Structure 1
Amino acid sequence: MRIYKHIITILVLANMFLMFACTNDMDISQPVEPGLEDKVSISLFTRAQDYSIPVTRGGANETGIEKTPYVLVFKVDGTSTKCIETVRAVEDLTTDKRYVLLTRQATGTYRFLILANNGTHFYFEDQRYEWSESNLETYLVGKELSYISENLLTDKLDSPQQNTVPYTSSGWDHLLPMSYLTDPVSGINDNTKIGEVGSPLQMVRGVAKLVFINEPELYLDSSTSSQMRYNKFVMGGVVSIMNTPRQGKVYNMDDNPLTTIGLTEVAKNDYSDMLLSMQDVNESWAPPYMQASWGDPCYVHETAADGGLFFIIKGDLTADFGTGTEETRTFYYKMAPVDNNFAQIGIERNHSYEFRIINVRGPGHSTVAEAMAAPPSNKLLLDYEVTSVDLSSHHVIANGHYYLGVSNSRYITYTDEPGTWQQAFSIVTDYFSQSGAWSPIRNEILSTQGITCDVSAISSSADASHPQVVNVKFDNSISTGWVEVWLGDLTLTVRVDRSGVVPVGGERLIYYKYYKDPGAGNEWWEYEHYLINGNVDSGASSWIKLAPGSETIPSAAVGYTSGGGAYFSPDPAVLTNVTDVVTSGIGKIQVYITDNSIAAGGTGQVRNGTFYLSTGYHPSYAPQNWTDRIKIDIKQAGS
């Protein structure tokens, strides 16, 4: 059994990802009624449109949003981020515009938390209330953002069994819950916006999507030259999801799932009906015998790794069961989401999980009850792969017919082998999955002189579940270049940079730019990007460390490279306070590459690692809400 976690970070346009879509920008302000002079009218978004990101073959409306979401206003004061106002958006039916009336604030720093598609009721401090402005004001105003994150919860599923499938069954609104916390803004006035064309909101789904695929392992029959299955298993679908949380956080500030909430089972009609059903995949690109539940997914709340989540699947196995002839029997199998070591994995919000069964080695259980009482079949009877797709990643643009996205808009590699292939970024699109005839369009991947890409066009199989990786290599004389991705009238550009290998003794990387005014004789350093947060891949988290940057640049700056780094010796005092995940409130992040010598506790061997930085506009440029992603590959020398 193999597990792959593709962090395809899709920094998505609001109008695409279940997000706020801005098809045309609204006037900065709406008329304010007499007596409301202390209020300011702020445009939220215009008409929401449905874009398939990722490809929505069925299930809930993953790209829809209610017309009047709630906006919570928080005042930032030092370490405090406290709710001061709760408002529901208003729809102007004459213009199809949406806006909110917020109290004017001449000074101070503020953030907006947008909450949408949350149904009719919520829980706060273990009590159930109707969603309304008055209830939110009564219970949330004066509370810290962190407290609201932990205590504002969705409505509960039934217990001990939920008999309708959440978000896809009759009686549900088919819209997935979502939230978004904006970057800080200075004051609240006529120039304030919450989402606009070119810098839309990037909403995050509050649930995870589960899809199952049956793709049996094949072999070539030499006598017939045909592809044959090692086993003849036809999956009907999933009849039960056990130990799924009854509710989740409306907004999750720290990405930690609830661990004290009750669990339930989702099933239909005493297991006689499928929760999600499999369909044959009769596409030219699909291998023989492939099945998938793309048209019938399930959605669940995030759950911790030790939550005990498992699934009961049903299918028909054709084999010789000791009678001397083949026959077909129906069996149930218990599946748990586990890693390579058969340890349970957690389920994260805004992720799509594909459970791909590749081999069924033998008969399962005759009844659902037997399967539930037994250990998971993963170890003995089932081989499968897990693909986890983060649905909040790639920078995406769209034209109303299809979208195009790249995982990061900048790539930096620290290496002494410029002529080797480097995995720079990945591409997603739904263009090739669109139904109907399309005229030929431009499909090119171009690069500037000295930069070579391993592909020249976007693959027809590139989608959100199968991103196309683009590798680049540099000529020895080139340290900076660009890669352009064209699909019809959509184009995205990725900047690629190369710096030297990090020395064995380690370095502190601070992403500054060097400026000099020859006329005045002045010179200074400034951060090249306004950095919001960063994270290190798990394989390198022990030696690549992140910390918030300082307001001033140390006088020990010794140089600037084309890769964007000003280098300093590691500071042991600071290294005690660093981590592999960091959020910066001042737009500055420092990266520490620790000493790799054996004497300092390093490996003494060459090592490679990857980390990511998210960038955005400085709050002084508000109200522009925009983020992007930088991927950095590090090669550190050994001793």
Structure 2
Amino acid sequence: MRESKRYITIFFYLILLLFMAGCEHDVSTIGQENEEEALKEKVQIEIFARAKSYSLPPTRALESEVGKTPWILVFKGQGAGATFIEAVQAFEMINKRYVLLTKQPAGNKYQLLILANPLDQFYYGNASTGYDFNQAALLSKLTPGVTTYGEACSKLLTKPLGSNPLTTVPYSGDEETIPMSHRLEVDQIDNTTKIANTDGSSLLLTRVVAKIVIVNKASNFILKGVTAVMNVPRQGKLHDADGILMNNTTNLTEYRYDAAYSLPVVKAETIATDVQSTEKFPIYMYESDVQNNTYLIIQGTYDNKDYYYKMSLLNSSLQAMDIERNHSYTFTINRAKGPGYDTVSDAKTAKPSNTDLDFEIMVDDSESYEILANNDYYLGVSNSVFIAYYSGENMEDYDAFSVITDCTKDFQDARTITDNKLEVSGAFQLSGPFKVPIVTSNGTNPVITPVTVGVTNQLMGYEEGIDDKKNAYITLKLGNLEKKVHIRQRKAISAGGSTLKFMPTNNTDPVVSEINYFCLTGQVEEGTDNPKEWIRLYSSVMPEGHTGEDHIIVEDGRIYVEVLPNTNATPRSGIVHLTTMASVGGVSLNSVQRIKLDITQLGQ
């Protein structure tokens, strides 16, 4: 049997050599003089990947298409400091995707950056010089052993959008695919390596663009379409490794049908009685920072007369918001409060009309969740670790995390949210809900629901590594998908302040402000107590005297959260979000783990 397998393997590689000789796919490090010896150092791996859901129904046939020949960029090490090894393009054989990678030994971590559906050119750190998307050009910018993962991700950019202005929405053509990416961490590269999830299911790739849809349900208004999209970024990063939006303030364009704005660049269609939508003709755009002042000019009929309205990209609180990749934004107009403007020029000059249009917004931000999926639906949580800094006498309720799903199936026995409070002597409990909410016929898709847990000041004593204690978990089960969220507690911060350390460590003492995580990023959330003013984030390499940041990226896994002294008598609270390299097994579509810190600081 072993001998027959050897002959089959030899036969396969002979076919592969013939296949490679007739193709133009580049495979780095294979020399022409001794292909047979070089091939022994290679391993052929099948790629299992598909597009991550926008959650809203796809509106174009190729919106979720993943090409058969993605590029794989290999880096050695962890986090942003991992160094480049090789760039390899996959090939198609018998309707499957394969890639030939150089074998890499165990004992290290390796980052596989998957770039699917690339355009014909990439740009590196600017919008002025393009390079053909091939191995030679990639190697001219990525130096093996030198270029880091963080540098490559920050500088590998899409080809800028062509003309300025654009007369069509990019990626809206029938044959256009959308660039996508994904990072997969593996322990070695050999015959056991799978470019797939740990359960063998397909990786979910992230699109480089966002999608915007306008829906009108107002009985006193008829939506005709979007006449123009102003201040749109012309370029985006091929892969977002740090969560920081690309600065495009000097690299913006406009979408419009023509200079006279004679027709909408995106038209609306009637989809139900008195309901119009641009769902079949969505707006795609690269992620846009609030500083870009991106806005829409929409056209509609109010009181039997056509008007133009300026719609800024605001959330439901009328605050400007970033537009992020792979997010779907649906603005629903519920009522028109008055007329707009007679001309596009006047609408541009005016203040935004969001207050003249009673609207609501639904944001599918599933990209910011830890997602599990099968071929039918997905289940995700906003964070899989929650840490409450609390010292009160009674059990305190917290919004520990949110759950998201697009599932429509009402599993009778497998749609539960449970706790293990009996294993931790009642030191915490699930407060609700007790079932995973699913999509209903008249409800929104996806469904996002906060999950509340009660925490006591005794919970910090219940953690693995302390005697025979167990961790506290909330377990979500939906069909055959299961996700656990670790609930932790530490003492509230004294009025004098403290520094919380999140870093690789062997410490298991909950009294010591040092918790074992390999951190990637940290961010302080806006809040009513202005936490950005008194919670500051530091890295290990910041110079002495640095005042810290409210958003930070690190390479060595260390983030220090400094809570400044509270000079008032009133306690205050703030939220910090960390991303880390996940160290858990099981089904996972992400190797990034998210942590939510709910920090309470006592008063004087």
TM-score, with structure 2 as normaliser: 0.75
Residue among 479, 484, 491 paired with 1:488: 479
- Which of residues 419, 426, 451 is equivalent to 2:402? 426
1:351-374 CA distance string (max 9 Å, x none):
3333343442211123444434x3
Cα distance change, pair 42–541 in 1 and its aligned pair in 2 (3 A) = farther
1:371 equivalent in structure 2:
347
Q: Are positions 1:161 and 2:165 aligned together?
A: yes
8 Å contact kept, 1:533–1:615: yes
Contact 1:306 1:344 in 2 (8 A): no
Is 1:313–2:315 an aligned residue pair? no
Determine which of 550, 554, 560 is the counterpart of 1:590.
560
C-alpha change, 1:396 and 1:250, in structure 2 (3 Å) is closer
Q: CA deviation at 1:296?
A: 3.7
| Worse-superposed segment, 487-496 or 384-393 | 384-393
Greater fraction of residues in helix: 2
C-alpha distance in 2, partners of 1:118/1:305? 27
Mapped partners of 1:52, 1:296: distance in 2 = 18
**Using a 3 Å threshold, how does the CA distance of structure 1 residues 151 and 260 change in structure 2: closer, same or farther?**
farther
Contact 2:383 2:485 in 1 (8 A): yes
Q: Secondary structure at the match of 2:521?
A: strand
Amino acid corresponding to residue 267 of structure 1 in structure 2: R
Partner secondary structure for residue 165 of structure 1 = coil
How far residue 506 of structure 1 moved from its aligned partner, in angstroms, is 1.8
- Aligned residue pair count: 538
Instruction: Please identify, of 100-109 and 445-454, the stretch whose mean Cα deviation from structure 2 is larger.
Output: 100-109
Asked if the contact 1:546–1:578 (Cα under 8 Å) also holds between the matched residues in 2, the reply is yes
Amino acid at match of 1:157: L
Q: Does residue 442 of the first structure (1) align with residue 414 of the second (2)? A: yes
1:534 maps to which residue?
Answer: 522
Question: Any idea what SS the aligned residue of 1:392 has?
Answer: helix
| 2:433 paired with 1:455 | yes
The 1:532/1:344 distance shift into structure 2, 3 A limit, reads closer
Instruction: Report the CA distance between 1:36 and its aligned residue.
Output: 1.8
Contact 1:60–1:167 (8 Å) recurs in 2: no
TM-score with structure 1 length normalisation? 0.72
Q: What code does the residue aligned with 2:574 have?
A: G
Distance in 2 between residues matched to 1:106 and 1:167, nearest whole Å: 41
TM-aligned CA deviation for residue 605 of structure 1 = 2.3
Q: Distance in 2 between matches of 1:397 and 1:351?
A: 17
1:546 & 1:426 partners in 2: Cα distance?
Answer: 24
Q: 1:334 deviation in Å?
A: 1.7
Does residue 631 of structure 1 match 2:596?
yes
Q: Taking structure 1 as reference, are residues 444 and 345 closer, same or farther at Cα in structure 2, changes over 3 Å only?
A: closer
* CA–CA distance in structure 1, aligned partners of residues 575 and 547 of structure 2: 20
**1:28-47 map, 5 Å:** 34-37=36-39, 39-41=41-43, 43=45, 45-46=47-48
Aligned partner of residue 541 in structure 1, secondary structure: helix
- For the 8 Å contact 1:352–1:390, the answer to whether it is kept is yes
Match of residue 607, structure 1, among 554, 559, 572: 572
Distance in 2 of aligned mates of 1:573 and 1:152: 29
Aligned to 2:308: 332
Corresponding residue for residue 86 of structure 1: 87
CA contact (8 A) 1:442 1:487 kept: yes
In 2, the alpha carbon distance for the partners of 1:486 and 1:161 equals 49
Match of 1:414 in 2: 389
Question: Quick one: which amino acid aligns to residue 87 of structure 1?
Answer: V
- Residues 396, 456 of structure 2: 8 Å contact kept: no
* Gapped regions of structure 1 (runs ≥ 5): 1-26, 217-228, 283-288, 319-327, 517-523, 551-571
Residues 99-127 of structure 1: per-residue CA shift (max 9 Å, x gap): 23337579987544321122333334523
* Structure 2 Cα separation of the partners of residues 514 and 81 of structure 1: 26
Please tell me whether the aligned partners of residues 613 and 630 of structure 1 are also in contact (alpha carbons under 8 angstroms).
yes
Q: How far did 1:394 drift?
A: 1.8
Partner of 2:469: none
Q: Partners in 2 of 1:253 and 1:358 — Cα distance? A: 37
Conserved? CA contact 2:535–2:561, under 8 Å:
yes
Asked if residue 469 in structure 1 is aligned to residue 447 in structure 2, the reply is: no
CA separation of 1:636/1:108 partners in 2, compared to 1, >3 Å: closer, same or farther?
Answer: closer
Give distance in 2, aligned partners of 1:583 and 1:103: 30
Alignment of 1:185-200 (within 5 A): 194-198=195-199
Report the CA distance shift for 1:97/1:472 in structure 2 as closer, same or farther (over 3 A): same
How far apart are 1:151 and its partner, in Å?
A: 4.8
Contact kept in structure 2, 1:546 and 1:581, CA below 8 Å = yes
Contact 2:225/2:264, CA 8 A, preserved across alignment:
no
CA deviations on 1:126-183 (whole Å, 9 max, x unpaired) are: 233432223323454468456654554323333233233222223423xx21233455
2:488 aligns with 497
Match of 1:119 in 2: 119
CA shift in 2, pair 1:77/1:207, >3 Å = closer
Give the counterpart of 1:264 among 247, 253, 256.
Answer: 253
State whether structure 2 residue 214 is matched by structure 1 residue 212: yes
User: Which string of whole-angstrom CA distances, capped at 9 and with x for unpartnered residues, describes residues 513-569 of structure 1?
Assistant: 6569xxxxxxx999543333322213322222333469xxxxxxxxxxxxxxxxxxx
Specify the SS of the correspondent of 2:38: coil
| 2:50 and 2:203 in contact (8 A); partners too | no
Change (3 A) 1:430 1:387: closer
AA of the residue aligned to 1:361:
K
- The one of 392, 401, 407 aligned to 2:367: 392
Farther-moved stretch of structure 1 (379-388 vs 158-167): 379-388
Unaligned residue ranges in structure 2 (runs of 5+)? 1-8, 18-35, 463-471
Larger deviation: 78-87 or 374-383?
78-87
1:453 offset after TM fit, Å?
2.0
* Closer/same/farther in 2, CA of residues 370 and 514 from structure 1, 3 Å limit: closer
Q: Helix, strand or coil: the match of 2:372?
A: strand
How many angstroms apart in 2 are the aligned matches of 1:405 and 1:213?
26
Query: 1:285 maps to what in 2?
Result: none
- Determine if contact 1:74/1:81 at 8 Å carries over to the other structure: yes
* Contact residue 70 and residue 88 of structure 1 kept, 8 A: yes
Cα deviation per residue 1:246-303 (whole Å; 9 max; x = unaligned)? 3323234552424365433223475435515255468xxxxxx665544442110123
* In structure 1, distance between residues paired with 2:117 and 2:37: 31
**Distance apart, 1:202 and its partner CA:** 5.9
Secondary structure of the structure 1 residue equivalent to 2:136: helix
How far the C-alpha of 1:467 sits from its partner, in A, is: 0.7
Distance 2:381 2:590 in 1: 19
Distance, in Å, in 1 between the alignment partners of 2:74 and 2:169 is 33
